[in-house]
Structure 1
Amino acid sequence: MSFDLDLYLARIGLAAAPPATAEGLIALQRAHRLAIPFENFDVILGRGIAIDSDAVFAKLVTAKRGGYCFEQNRLFEDALIALGFSVRPLLARVWLGIQGAPPPKTHTLSLVTIDGQDWIADAGFGGSYAPPMPLADGETADAPDGARFRLMRDPLHGWMLERDGHAASTDGRGGGEGWQPQFSFTLDPVFTSDLLLSNFWTSTAPESRFRQLRIASIVLPQGFASLTDKSYRRRNGDKEASGEIEDPRVYRMRLSLLFGLDLTAEDVAALGLFEER
C-alpha cells in the first residue's frame, strides 16, 4: 500500500502539507504529537507490535489508535518521505530514571537532513515533548510547555539529549532539578533488522517497562498528560491535576476524552488493573 498523505494530514489536523523545510518539520512533528497518543496497550493485551509501514498506518491512522516509538516514528518517517524530506532512523538508549549500567536501545528517533544541516526529530518519545533540533553540540530548544532541551556530545554514547523543565510535564520519570538526561544516540546506520530486533525486545522482554506497565500519554498545547497504570497526571499551562483511577468506567472515559483512545470494556478488563465486579 502506498502512503496516503491526505489521510495522515487529516489524522493530525493539518489542512495543508507543510514544506520540506525546518519550519515544516517542526510543524509536522508538533501536529503529530498533539493528535496521536503514545500507548502500549497492545503489548499488554498480547497482540504483538508490527512496525512495517502498512500495519502502522492501519493502526495509528485508519483505526485512530496510538502506539509507541517504533510505530510512531515509522509513520512519521513515511510522512516525511512523502513530503520530500531526507530522513533515516536512529536508535537510542533512554536514561530516564536509570542508575548504573547503560540501558538497552529501546527507542528510535529520526535524523532529518535539510539544506545540508542534520536535525533530530522525534514523534514517539513518550516521556515528554522534545522539539526538533539541529544536530550541533550545545544546541538548545524551547518546548511549548516551558521546558528546555539541550544536545551535548557524549564521549561514550555519541550524543545525549537533556531536558530542564517542570516535572509535571513528563510521565513522571527524569524530572529532577536542572538538566536531566533523556536519551543518548549515535549516528550509526540503522537497518530494518535492527529496528525489528529492538522492537521485539521492547515488546516481549519481561524486563521491558512496556511489559510491566500500562502506559498512555499525549502532548497538550502547553503541557503533557500521562496515565501509567491507574496513576493520572496532567499539566497544561499553570493548571495541574493528578490522582488514582479506581473505576474501570472512569478509566475508559479518561482514555477517550483526553487521549482519544476508545478501548472496549473487555480490553480494559484484560489489562488487569481492576478487580472484577
Structure 2
Amino acid sequence: MTFSPPLADSSPARAEGFDLAAYLGRIGLDAPPPVSLEGLALLVRAHRMAIPFENLDIALGRGISLAPQAIFDKLVHRRRGGYCFEQNALFHRALAAMGFHGRPLMGRVWLGAQAGDVPPRTHQLELVTLDGRPWIADVGFGGSLTPPLPLAEGESEAGPDGVRFRLTRDPDHGWLLARLGAPSYTEVTAEEAARWQPQYSFTEHPVFPVDMEMGNHWTSTRPGTRFTSLLMVHRITGDGFASLIGNRLRLRDARGTGEAMLETPAAFRRALADHFGMALDGEEATRLHAF
C-alpha cells in the first residue's frame, strides 16, 4: 500500500510544488482570496460549485488513490470530481498554498446510518484556524453547501437554500453536525427535511495518513455500501443543484425541480458533460450506465 505524505500540519511548506494557479482556475477564481473568514467561505463555495462530488472510479474498478498528484491530476487537470478523501485533501493543500493554517479531521457519517449502528470513521473534513479561532470547512460532503462553521455549539443562519446547520457536543463522538432545511440530493423527504438530521460526528484528534488510507479503503471497497453499490454525482449550482443517482438525473433551481431517467449511455454521457462538466468516453459511459 502506498501512503500519502503527512498531512497533519498545514503550512506553506507543505504546499511545495502545488500548482495554485491551476487550482484557482479550476474553481473559477483569478487570484487567491484574503486569508480571512470571508476568503475561506469564498473558497468553499467556489470549490463546491466547480468540482463535483462523485464516486465513478469505484464503479469503473479503478479504486481511489490518495497520492497528492493523483488527486490533483484527476480533480484539476482532468476536471473530474471525487469524494471527501480526495476533495478535502486537495482543499487542504490549496489552503496551505494560500497561507491558511489547517489540519484534517476524521468523522463518522450518521446520515443514512442504521438505527443502533455506529458508523466507521469514513469522512474527512478540515479544521482551519483564523485569528486564533477554529472553524470547520468541508468541501467533500455532498448535498447542500456547508459554509465554514465556528467550532462551537450553536446554529448557523439560514443559507441561500434555506438550510441551517447546528453543532453540538456529543458525549461519545466529539462534535455532531446536524442539518435542517430543504431536501437535497440525499433524497430526504420534505417531512425529514423539516426536522434536524444528523450529518456526521467528528473529534479534534490528530489525523495521520494511515487513518485516511484506512477510511478510504473501507469506503471504496466495502461491499454493499452506498459508495460501492450506487453511482452518485452531485454539484452545487448558483441557485440549486444537479445530481445523478444511478441513472436518474435531478435538477433544482429557483424555478423548481426537474427529473429525468437517462435511458441510454449516450444520454448518461451528455448529462455528465452538460450538468457536471465531466467528459467521459463512450466505453466509460456504457459501463457506468449498466452499473
Q: Normalised by the shorter chain, which TM-score bucket?
A: over 0.9
1:199 is matched by which residue type in structure 2? N
Q: How big is each residue's C-alpha offset from its partner over 1:19-46, in whole Å with a ceiling of 9 and x where there is no partner? A: 1111110000100000001111111111
**8 Å contact kept, 2:179–2:198:** yes
From 195, 201, 204, the equivalent of 1:184 is 201
User: Match for 2:71: what amino acid?
Assistant: V
Mapped contact 2:268–2:289 kept (Cα < 8 A): no
Q: TM-score scaled by structure 1?
A: 0.94
> Deviation digits for residues 202-237 of structure 1, max 9, x if unmatched?
111113311101110001112222111012222122
Shift of 1:142: 2.9
Q: Does 1:163 align with 2:185?
A: no
Corresponding position of 1:207: 224
Structure 1 unaligned regions, length at least 5: none
1:3 shift after superposition: 0.3
Distance, in Å, in 2 between the alignment partners of 1:64 and 1:156 is 39
Q: Does 1:58 align with 2:58?
A: no
* Amino acid in structure 1 at the alignment position of 2:285: V
Q: CA deviation at 1:51?
A: 1.1
What are the equivalent positions in structure 2 for 1:258-273 lying under 5 Å apart? 258-271=275-288, 273=290
Q: Deviations over 1:45-71 (max 9, x none)?
A: 111111121111111001111111100
The range that moved more, 154-163 or 2-11, is 154-163
User: How many residues align structurally?
Assistant: 273
Secondary structure of 1:262 counterpart: coil
Task: Report which stretch shifted further, 151-160 or 5-14.
Answer: 151-160
Give the secondary-structure state (helix, strand or coil) at the position aligned to 1:106. strand
SS of equivalent residue, structure 2 residue 121: coil
AA matched with 2:29 = L
Percent identical across equivalent pairs?
A: 52
State yes or no: 1:28 paired with 2:43.
Answer: yes
Query: After superposition, where does 1:112-131 map in structure 2 within 5 Å?
Result: 112-131=128-147
- In the TM superposition, residue 264 of structure 1 has moved relative to its aligned partner by 1.1
5+ long unaligned stretches in structure 2: 1-15
Q: Contact 2:44–2:138 (CA<8 Å) still a contact in 1?
A: yes
Q: Deviations over 1:87-120 (max 9, x none)?
A: 1111111111223201111111000011111000
Q: Aligned match of 1:239 in 256, 265, 270?
A: 256
1:144 corresponds, among 140, 160, 166, to 160
Q: CA RMSD in A?
A: 1.5
How far the C-alpha of 1:174 sits from its partner, in A, is: 7.7
Q: Which residue of the partner structure matches residue 17 of structure 1?
A: 32
Distance in 2 (CA, whole Å) between partners of 1:146 and 1:273 is 36
Stretch moving more, 109-118 or 207-216: 207-216
Cα distance in 2 for residues equivalent to 1:99 and 1:29: 30
Relative to the length of structure 2, the TM-score reads 0.90
